[in-house]
């Protein structure tokens, strides 16, 4: 008898990973078109931020693929990568002060208002909560 399982956790994780991949790729591609007024601003900084974002999304995609193939490690991977991504959005790597005393901070990872990372974490939690135990026959 075939059992039907919903793939809500995998779909949420895959969606969050794809959104994060789009954010990382657009951050790298738009860094060439944006000219920065501060001559001391490092030119390689958008590439570091975009590279870390793409790496996090690639690990999330890997976890989603594992979860779609009914491997329980994929859910844990989604959960861990989502938490690491949330932590990386709060790690500052560069600060600079612009005129009038405004301070701008660049963080290690970029995100789309944390929606994508929250989708990955919720997908991992739902997947781990509703995982089916395999019975030995």
Question: What pLDDT score was predicted for residue 1?
Answer: 44
pLDDT (tens digit per residue) in 106-131: 899 999 888 999 999 999 999 998 87
Question: What pLDDT score was predicted for residue 4?
Answer: 58
Q: Encode 48-75: b = buried (16+ Cβ within 10 Å), e = exposed.
A: bbbebbbbbbebbbebbbbbeeeeeebb
Domain boundaries along the sequence of the chain: 8-129
Closest CA to 11 of 128, 110, 127: 127
Q: Which is more confidently placed, 1 or 93?
A: 93
pLDDT band with cut points at 50, 70 and 90 for residue 104? confident
Closest CA to 47 of 29, 61, 63, 34: 29
SS3 state at 98? coil
Question: What pLDDT score was predicted for residue 38?
Answer: 67
> How many Å apart are CA 25 and CA 89, to the nearest integer?
16
**Strand locations in the chain, DSSP E?**
92-97, 103-107
């Amino acid at each position: 008898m075939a059992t039907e399982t919903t793939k809500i956790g995998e779909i949420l994780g895959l969606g969050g990973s794809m959104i994060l991949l789009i954010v990382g790729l657009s951050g790298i591609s738009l860094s060439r078109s944006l000219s920065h007024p501060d001559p001391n601003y490092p030119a390689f900084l958008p590439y570091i931020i975009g590279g870390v974002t793409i790496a996090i999304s690639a690990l999330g995609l890997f976890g989603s693929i594992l979860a779609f193939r009914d491997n329980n490690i994929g859910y844990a991977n989604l959960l861990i990568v989502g938490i690491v991504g949330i932590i990386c959005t709060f790690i500052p790597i560069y600060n600079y002060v612009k005129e009038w005393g405004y301070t701008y901070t660049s963080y290690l990872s970029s995100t789309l208002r944390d929606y994508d990372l929250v989708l990955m974490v919720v997908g991992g939690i739902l997947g781990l909560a509703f995982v089916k135990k395999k019975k030995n026959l």
